[in-house]
Amino acid sequence: MKSRVLLYVSVFLFSVFFLTGCTSDENKNISENLTQEGLELYEERYYKEAMDKFVEALEKYPSNFEAYAGLADILLDKGFFEEVEDLANEASVRVDNTQAAEIYSMIGEKYYEIERYEKSQKMFEKAVSADGNYEKGRVGLAGSHIWLGDIREASRALGNRGESDEFLLLYSFLTFDDWEEGVKKVSEISDDDLRGRMESIYEIDDEDVLYKNTSLAREYINAGYPFLAIELLSKQDGEIEQYPDGQYFLGRAYLDYGNYERAIEKLNAALMLDVDDDEVYINLARANLFNNNVERALNAYEAVVSGENLNFLEEYIDVLLENDMKNKAQTILIDLIAQEDSFGLNIMLGKVYYERSELDKMGEVLEKLEEETNLTQAETKELKRYKILYAVEDIDNEVELDGLIERYSVFDRYDPEVYLFRGKLLKHQEEILEAQEAFERAIELDLKGDVSKQAEKLLASMN
């Protein structure tokens, strides 16, 4: 799809440069209808066909904001950032100021989401330059400055005008320990739970500054601004040395901000202060893992591994598999199943057997789980997925596999794996054209890239 995207954008931008902008009402109506068709196709995840409609709509009416936004959505979904920036620059001279700000903010939000903060800052700056009153742009620009470590610029970018909960919360955060100013903005927040939680923190006795700041730091972290937590708690670094929660939240903040050595230091300090909490060990494990110390990460995971918290356990098992410790993963799960025979533990064991290519043992686990009668919808979906993975490895019964794929698609017909599985079955049946179409659809739907790699490899083997 990449070559097609590049062709579309380059040809469109070249052609639109010569358009005068004088468009008949008939062309505007045609453009709006084409845009609506494009939006419907986009909703159904037919990205290629949707692009056709949006480009055609813009050829009819070069100032069609909805068509620009639809095309930008597709380019962002597919990760074509340079192309969408070019598109936004062209759109900015053909739509009104607020619409231009919205398109630039769309790009800024995507860059922010993937942690490319210098790029998000530039896009939000363009949004604010187009329309200084566009609140989302100012909030995004302030957030980008925070992640880049410049709180003063963040405050300047945010300004003091805004009504959304996002603006009010961030404004209160940037007041730091000016609690009276923070309370004023928090009181205007419309979300009852958020307002109540923040007000309860500001109501803490001012003499208990350490507890109050630690509580605020927790909110900063949860809202996605760990740098603010670091700045706030570092002011009391000496007092925090003997304060367990302060050490923990400072460690969490350093972890989220990407300073893994400092995170390890603070989380270990929390443990030395007798903080006995699974969250400390899990975050210490993650910090060590990101700091490329697998051995220490595994030690931290093992301190809290159990069959009770399946999310932590699954994370630990995945780390073992990624580091080629399949035997250890298998042993841990078998021992835990002996203590408590649950669906979650068994499906993880099935995954380990799949990774070890021990299909007979995997089949036994799946057969055992098939007898369960009280599975949740999520568990049913996961079981069907592993049954398909098992069946695809050695297709004996094509009709059964086809039925499994069809039933799996009921859970999410936009799941790219549905089309990957279907393509594998069709390839086995030597239905080459249909298999190619299935693999191409899998690639189109896959926004993460994991399924695409498999589908592209299978497509290449068929050419």
d(CA 335, CA 175): 52
Walking along the chain (463 residues) 10 residues at a time, the average pLDDT comes out as 50 49 80 97 95 93 95 94 93 96 98 97 98 97 98 96 95 87 91 95 89 94 97 86 92 98 96 85 97 96 88 95 96 95 96 96 96 92 96 89 94 95 94 95 91 93 83
449 secondary structure, DSSP code: S
What does the block give as tokens for 77? 């979904």
d(CA 321, CA 327): 9
Distances (CA, A) of 351 to 74, 255, 364, 382, 400: 34, 29, 12, 11, 21
At the topology level of CATH, where does 241-304 sit?
Answer: 1.25.40
pLDDT on residue 424: 95
- Architecture of the domain defined by 395-463: Alpha Horseshoe (1.25)
Closest by Cα among 132, 136, 128 to 164:
136
d(CA 135, CA 290): 35
Helix residue spans in 291-325 (DSSP H): 294-302, 310-322
Q: Give the global pTM.
A: 0.90
Residue with tokens 């409609």: 53
d(CA 460, CA 346): 35
Instruction: Give the phi and the psi of residue 249 in degrees, each rounded to 5.
Output: -70, -30
Q: Where are the domains of the chain?
A: 164-229, 241-304, 306-373, 395-463
Instruction: Give the phi and the psi of residue 273 in degrees, each rounded to 5.
Output: -90, 20
pLDDT on residue 36: 98
Q: How many residues does the chain have?
A: 463
The widest CA-to-CA distance across the chain, in whole angstroms, is 76
d(CA 459, CA 463): 7
375 secondary structure, DSSP code: -
Residue 182 · residue 202 · CB < 8 Å? yes
Three-class DSSP category at 87: helix
- In 151-277 the beta strands, taken as DSSP E runs, fall at none
pLDDT on residue 56: 93
pLDDT on residue 68: 96
d(CA 313, CA 305): 6
